Chains A and B, each alone.
Chain A
Amino acid sequence: MTRHQLFLVARQTYMNRMKTFGFWSVVLAPLLILLVIFGITFAIDATKSDEKPTVAIVNDTSLMTYLKKNKSVGAQYTNIKSSAKAKQALRNDKIDGYLTSQHERYHLTMAKDAESLSEDTLQTTINQYYMVNQAAKLHLDTKQLQNLIQPPSFNSTVYSSNGKTSAGGVSSNAANSMLAGGLGIFIFIFLTAYVGMIAQEIANEKSSRIMEILLAVTSAGVQFFGKLLGVAGLAITHGLVYVVAGVIGYVFVPDNKYVDMAKELLTGVDVGFAVMTGLLAIVGIFLYMILTAIISAMINDLSQVQQAVSPITYMAMIGYILTFILEGQPHNMLINTLSYVPFVSQTLMPARLGLQYANMTDAFIALVLEVVVLVFLARYGLRVYKKNVLTYSDGNITKAALLSLKGLFSKKTIDE
């Protein structure tokens, strides 16, 4: 294998795809969707009505005074003597709704087309009003009331099996598991995109017999690893585009509430967790790429690409789907075991790690297993690739796969 030829094949694969509309549509589609969602949300926010609803308080000046002082509900208030008059005013569109109070029971009636009003905020405000009134009846002063309603302090830490405690708590767990979930989607999108791309590349060269010309001057190793490097380069470029887009979003849209939410989420993520998850994901994607290259060598023509790629995509879905049923099952033996298994661990282990169902040692074991399988697959996969890439069978990929599996450990059959 010459390094220069390896570079040439990788560059050719990379540059050819970079110039296609297909590649950029895969890269930019999620960004465009985000941009459209952002744009629509912004447009809705910008065009929403600022008018406050007018709510009549029926015969309760004390409540009206309290509500007027407390501006959180975002409504205008007016006093009306009776429910009948309030109904009449509502019918005549003079008010948007009215609030009645009788024997400590409160009832809000709103017109169907009224300006929106947060019922939860109104209820909270009425609760406060009720509490203050009750405190007054019980002759409690302000301090006593505060002591009564002050919740006790509660914190949590997570004790892992190696005796270390880590930053626990809802925010850290939520951030880690949200990152794991997000990565699960991200990895799945990557896998489907690049698995298909590798299959197309190899099937195209094989079915058009260009492969024979290429192998006459290079070697199966140069073609196999060159293609993989080229497509890996595309995947890395894809990831970098998102990083750059994220940084641009972070820098140029600093006051946006969505950016603030993302910032808040990211600050809760452990660095160790992020690095381990990233490594598991990258090695996992490379594993799938190699597997696809091996299977694609068995394709006879482009019509078989889908047939070859589908089982790989289904396999990638296993880990992804299991992450959804993971929560609440920290000791499920099947899930725990599968989280170490390469081809599944890239999504399942980060999810277990995020939920604190596994620790860094578990993740490290999963990573080592991934790397071992990666090396094995690259080494023996090349033999299978070499055996199949110039063999044109009767069209049955399954048969070719079984024959390859049989010949995987046999040096004698590989060149035949």
Chain B
Amino acid sequence: MIELKNLTKEFGDKVAVDNMNMQLEAGHVVGLIGQNGAGKTTTFRMMLDFIKPTHGTITWDNHDITNRDRQNIGFLPEERGLYQKLSIEQQVVYFAALHGMSKSDAKQKLKHWMTRLDVVGKVTDKVQSLSKGNAQKVQLIATVITEPSLLILDEPFTGLDPVNAQLMMNEILRLKHNGAMIIFSSHNMSGVEKLSDELLMLKHGQTVLSGGLSDIRESFGRSEIYLESPVEDAELLAIPGVVSVEKEGDGRHLKLSDDRVGKEVFRIVARDGYVPVFAQTPPTLDEIFRREVAGGVEND
């Protein structure tokens, strides 16, 4: 288990991470969300020992992270990097060797991964000759080929096309099921919702929300309704507690000031005894993010 206890990082007067606490257990995925400069990358850098915390501790199974532990870390940086003049095989074998994997094992597994991720080309192809999509796959292979116990992924979906994003998501889930501890940061809220067991939402270094995804959402109450009904907007807005009505696809999206208002809305839309779609839900992660972190502004 990885444990971050009272973790703080100060750069001069600026507090980049403020008293963060987090536990990451085997087979769990923690999503770190926040705007640029919220402290996500700084947290990763402390976990990777690139920088020392000003206060607090990071432990792996109750001891400091050792060099041997570091060989069990797979890290995917936000800005991807590969040796352009090396072949796929030379590249992956070198990274795997640094993680303690033998050359023959790495070569054998690489073939399997090339097929599995459908990388176009041969293992002897130089990275500079690969398409961006294939280079991204090679980067993923280099990160996970050693089946690391701890996976740190900084914005893993950035720059990926939908197919590669799905591949990435599948691999994260597979590693999770194999017992890996995974922490990742992302601006892609749907990805975060699909993958994370727990969330840490950061704002200017401070943890504004943390916990299980459904618990966080439920804590905001079921203040959203999606419905498909012939009832007019004006009639819906006239219900006390309905804050807004917006068109969404074939139906409409209502925001409530109090989740108890939902019963009144349902009574009105179902007065004829039938309503095709009525769903009262907590706010989406995207909505929570906008409310809590971005101050209502759409995040990039």
Contacts and interface: CB of A to CB of B under 8 A. Distances in A.
Contacts of A259: none
Main secondary structure of the interface of B (DSSP, over half): loop
Contact of A217 (B73, B77, B82): B73
Contacts of A216: 48, 50, 70, 73, 75, 152
Given A12-B94, A415-B51, A212 B86 contact: no
Interface residue range, chain B:
20 to 34
A216 B142 CA distance: 13
Given A1-B67, A216-B73, A217-B75, A210 B82 contact: yes
29 contacts: A5-B98, A8-B97, A16-B85, A16-B86, A204-B83, A205-B81, A208-B82, A209-B77, A209-B80, A209-B81, A210-B81, A211-B81, A212-B75, A212-B81, A213-B75, A213-B77, A213-B81, A213-B95, A213-B143, A215-B50, A216-B73, A216-B152, A217-B70, A217-B95, A218-B70, A219-B67, A219-B70, A390-B50, A415-B52
A416 to B, nearest CB: 6
A214 interface: yes
A92 interface: no
A8 B98 contact: yes
Contacts of B81: 205, 208-213
Contact of A215 (B48, B95, B142): B48
B79 interface: yes
Which 7 residue pairs are nearest across A and B when measured between Cβ atoms?
Answer: A209-B81, A216-B75, A210-B81, A415-B52, A208-B81, A212-B77, A209-B79
Contact of B98 (A204, A209, A218): A218
Nearest to A1: B67
A410 interface: no
B187 interface: no
Contacts, number: 63
B165 to A, nearest CB: 20
Interface of A: 1-2, 5, 8-9, 12, 16, 204-205, 208-219, 390, 415-416
A383 B81 CA distance: 24
Main secondary structure of the interface of A (DSSP, over half): helix
Given A2-B67, A8-B97, A217-B98, A416 B77 contact: no
A72 to B, nearest CB: 62
B134 interface: no
Nearest to B11: A416
B129 interface: no
A5 B99 CA distance: 9
B57 to A, nearest CB: 15
A214 B83 CA distance: 12
A118 B9 CA distance: 84
Contacts of A214: 98
A12 B83 CA distance: 12
Interface string B56-90: 00000000000100110101010111111110000
Contacts of B80: 209
Contacts of B143: 213
Which of B45, B77, B81, B99 counts the most chain A CB atoms within 10 A? B81
